[in-house]
Structure formats: structure tokens, C-alpha cells
Amino acid sequence: MFIPLKDLNPSRTYPFVNITLILANIAVFIYELGLEATLPQRAYEALLLSYSTVPARFPALLMGHASFEGSFVPLVSSMFLHSGFLHLAGNMLFLWIFGDNVEDFFGHVPYFFFYLACGVGAGLLHVLFNLHSNVPALGASGAISGVMGSYILLYPRAQVLTLVFIFPLPVPAVIFLGLWYVMQFLSGINALGVGASGGVAWWAHIGGFLLGMLLTGMSRRR
């Protein structure tokens, strides 16, 4: 069991965009809980489905059986939805640890658009690998994977205090994030041909991570 606790890499500026993103995700999750408590179960599930990314909507769009808005808008809205408290807590922990330094690099407003671009790109790769699936995908992990891809490129030697079983140990970011990516990639390869089944969107993680590295590399060259 490897759980990151914090990185030993202080940010130079106050990461108000990163904190705003965390608060927005928490606020939407609280709103979800309120809807779940007040709406009939079928109505709640239908509402959640309409704002989640469903890969099968994209071939349906090409055939004229789905709307552009209904297919593409959920690529953004699904980034702020979560299926449960642990799903939310895990995503926000990673965003809290790695997001502030990436915001330092990009600047506040560009970081916001970088985050959205990684989330949308991750969602599109998930769609590509699960093209005819009707299973909804939701969560911020694709965008956060992009943040992690950026971090490994920018701060490979930064230490990440990691709970390794029961021992807190400093681990270089290149090792922690590199192992994380390898695990996602192997899981994604293992899932090929199986299709989405309501579990982890491995290819969204892979796509977000690689897109984050690509966008960061392009920004560094500039």
C-alpha cells in the first residue's frame, strides 16, 4: 500500500486556482448527496447519467442519434462528479499534493485551462478505448493525472512523503509517479478487449498523464 501524504516541495505562490478546484469538487459532491436524498432513485441516476461521459454517445452522434451537447458537455461536467466519498477523497488528496507546484509553473489562469484540457483529453481517450460502452465515466482523475504528468516532468527529484505500508518514507517524485503510471498502463493493457465495466477508467489516467507531460513540455520550450 502506497499512499502519498505530502510533497516536500513548497510552492512560491498561493495556489488559489488549485484550492478553488478542490472546493468546487467538494461542493458538487455535497450537492450530489442532497439530490440523492431528495430525488427518487431512478430520477437521481438519470440526472447523474446525463452529466457523465458515456462513450456510446459519440458513435451515436456520428449517426445522428445523439446531440453534440449531450456528447461533449459531459466531458467537462463529469470531471466534477464523484461516485462516493473515497473516490472524492483520493482524487482531492492527489490534487492537493501535486497541483500547487504545477500551478506555480503555469500561472493561475493557464493552469485552470491546462487542468480542463487534460480532463477533456483523458475523457476522449477513454471514449476511444470503450467506444460502444454505455457505462458512464465520472471523476476528476483524468485531469489530475495530467497534473501528475506535468509534475514528474517539472519536479522529478522532489520528495513525496509516502506511507509505505505503515512507514512514512520520502520517495522521489519520478519513482512514485513513475510506478503509478506503470500500474495504470499495465492495468489498461490488461483491460483491453474487456470494455468498461463500471470500474477504473485506466485509459483516462494514461491519456491524462501523457497529455499533461506533452503540454508541459511544449510550455517549457516556449
Residue 99 has pLDDT above 80, yes or no: yes
Q: SS3 of 85, please? A: helix
- Quick one: which of 163, 204, 166, 13 has its CA closest to 100? 13
Find all residues with CB under 8 Å of 60, minimum gap 6, and list them: 66, 71
109-152 pLDDT per residue, tens: 999 999 999 999 999 999 999 988 899 999 999 999 999 999 99
The angle formed by the CA atoms of residues 127, 133 and 134, to the nearest 5 degrees, is 110
pLDDT score, position 66: 84
Could you give the percent of the chain with pLDDT greater than 70?
Answer: 96
pLDDT score, position 23: 98
Average pLDDT rounded to a whole number, residues 20-46: 96
For all residues of the chain together, what is the average pLDDT? Answer: 93
pLDDT band at 193 (very low <50, low <70, confident <90, very high): low
pLDDT band at 222 (very low <50, low <70, confident <90, very high): confident
Could you give the percent of the chain with pLDDT greater than 90?
Answer: 81
pLDDT score, position 199: 58
Find all residues with CB under 8 Å of 106, minimum gap 6, and list them: 114, 219
Residue 102 has pLDDT above 70, yes or no: yes
pLDDT score, position 1: 66
Quote the pTM value. Answer: 0.93
Domains and CATH numbers, the chain: 2-221 (1.20.1540.10)
Residues 56, 84: Cα–Cα separation, whole Å? 24
Residue 196 has pLDDT above 80, yes or no: no
Residue 179 has pLDDT above 60, yes or no: yes
Average pLDDT rounded to a whole number, residues 179-201: 78
pLDDT score, position 91: 97
